[in-house]
Amino acid sequence: MFHKEGTKIIFYSMLITVALVLAADYFLTLNWLRIVVQCTILVFLVIILQFFRNPNRTITAADNTIVAPVDGKVVVIEEVYEPEYFKDKRLMVSIFMSPFNVHVTRYALNGEIKYSKYHPGKYLVAWHPKASEENERTTIVVDNPIFGEVMYRQIAGALAKRIVNYAKVGEHAIQGTDAGFIKFGSRVDLYLPLGTDVKVLLNQKAVGNKTIIVEKK
């Protein structure tokens, strides 16, 4: 199953792949060279297809949990100053997505969408210290009845060229449903209230809609 944001790219990629494979078959007379070229073309198609995977991971939405919004590795758990919306210190949990992870962003929690803003920017590598402030990104705040206002930020990386964001102010976010997509990229930061008892560890593999970031009994 593939995400709708990849429909056009997948379609044109398949057309180009077929054309190039046929061209290689017609123009390349050396058997080994033809096979190498055709296999390389198919590998690139497979890479594009895996970027737009959208596995079906239904969950029972719960106000008392915050789940991982994306697949990837937890690379940061630390207190930081958040200057855009809260303008105070928050606990940031950052998940880095490699090119081999699912790149769908899902709502990590239920609540009313209070803020949603797109920022054009640079394409620094996602782990760069200034990526969260200077890269292309979107900032979304969801007001949850138990946790209060929680922010998540989609951040483009060196390969990403477009962030898709479905969040609109005033709408209700339903935990686990699609919140956006980062095409060929790369990191999502969660900003939680200070003192939040997170359930994940540094370098832990997170799975979107499955890994619990925070849970209140």
Q: Which of 94, 116, 132, 186 is catalytic?
A: 186
Q: In the numeric block, which tokens belong to residue 38?
A: 């055709």
CB 94 within 8 A of CB 76: yes
**23 phi and psi angles, rounded to 5 deg:** -65, -40
Q: In the numeric block, which tokens belong to residue 177?
A: 């449903």
Residue at 58: amino acid letter: T
The CA distance from 168 to 104, in Å, is 17
The CA distance from 115 to 38, in Å, is 47
CB 24 within 8 A of CB 41: yes
Strand arrangement, sheet containing 72-82:
172-173, 111-119, 137-144, 148-155, 187-192, 88-96, 72-82, 205-206
Can 186 be counted among the known catalytic residues? yes
Active site residues: 186
